[in-house]
Amino acid sequence: MPTPSDYPGTVFHVWIWIDPKNASEFEGHLRKCYEKVILEPECTFFEVMNSPERPGEYCFVEGWTCDKKEWEEVWIYYCSGTLLSPNIDAFRLQVQGTKPYRAPYEKATKPMWLKPRQSYAS
């Protein structure tokens, strides 16, 4: 059976919490963004989970072809604008952090978040 170290890339986990009354609207915005993300050549998979036992809690599991350190730097840059390393691949920043479909998703859904999103890469 393959282990995470056998995977040629990075698996990224993201949690977002919203008020369940906003689920339909949130999912509509998410669907538009999701449909664009899965077309990215670097995206190997993107799963969205929402359990009936914890309505309003969403977990995204995404597979990307970049290595963990590179992806973490891209995510930190995307979330905070802080570039950790001067040699980070500018293409990754463009592909992962500044795609035009991300801004409308963030603008529409961020006010729905009950707390800041949490994430980690493996």
Domain extents in the chain? 4-114
Name the CA radius of gyration of the chain, rounded: 15
Whether residue 8 is predicted with pLDDT greater than 80 in this model: the reply is no
Give the C-alpha separation, 100 to 104, whole Å.
Answer: 8
Average pLDDT (22-34) is: 96
pTM above 0.85, yes or no: no
pLDDT score recorded for residue 99 = 79
Q: What is the per-residue burial (b if ≥16 Cβ within 10 Å, else e) of 72-96?
A: bbbbebeeeeeeeeeebeeebeebb
Q: With a cut of 80, say whether residue 69 has pLDDT above it.
A: no
pLDDT averaged over every residue in the chain = 80
The pLDDT of residue 91 is 45
Q: Domain 4-114 class?
A: alpha beta
What whole-number distance in Å separates Cα of residue 35 and Cα of residue 85?
Answer: 30
Of 7-11, 29-33, 48-52, give the lowest mean pLDDT range: 7-11
Across residues 4-25, what is the average pLDDT? 84
CB 64 within 8 A of CB 41: no
Name the more confident of 4 and 109. 109
